[in-house]
Amino acid sequence: MSPDDRDVLPLSDAHRYLRAATAGLRHHTRTLTAQSFTGASARPADRPHLDSLHAHLTALHRLLDQLAERTRPERPASGLHLATAHARLWQAADAVHAAFHLLPAAAPGASDCHPERLPEGPPVLTICQRHLAASHAVRRKTTAADLAAPAS
């Protein structure tokens, strides 16, 4: 049994899609690791790759938000930890969004994020819209102090 298989839940549980997403991430990580060990030319992240990763992070961000809200009334300490994880995931998604815009774009100037107007198309359009929606949710439930606090 591999270390990654130790925490796998029984197939009968209701979290099969979450397990599938986790398996996909593990596969992707193993593929990148195998490429580095075999001497294959290491390719840096590209914009579509970061767009997909940002989509995953924001989906996980929404999930943690819902879990924190449902857990906090009955289990305040656990809810607080989930809320902290929620804030840290936002920080990760924000950093991936920033990295996306620092990568070279196909057309000059196409990498700029302008909230006052729509971006020029995919993937800039999708990542910026998704990021804007997530930032609204963060502003409703998270203070600047929460985001600036060191990880506990």
Per-residue pLDDT of the chain (152 residues; tens, 9 = 90+): 455 555 555 556 768 888 888 898 899 888 888 777 776 666 788 888 898 999 999 999 999 999 999 999 999 999 989 988 988 999 999 999 999 989 887 655 555 555 555 455 555 668 888 899 888 888 887 777 777 776 55
Q: What is the pLDDT of residue 45?
A: 83
Full-model pTM:
0.74
With contact defined as beta carbons under 8 Å apart, do 36 and 42 qualify? yes
Q: How far apart are CA 25 and CA 23, in angstroms?
A: 5
**Both structure tokens of 124:** 């800039």
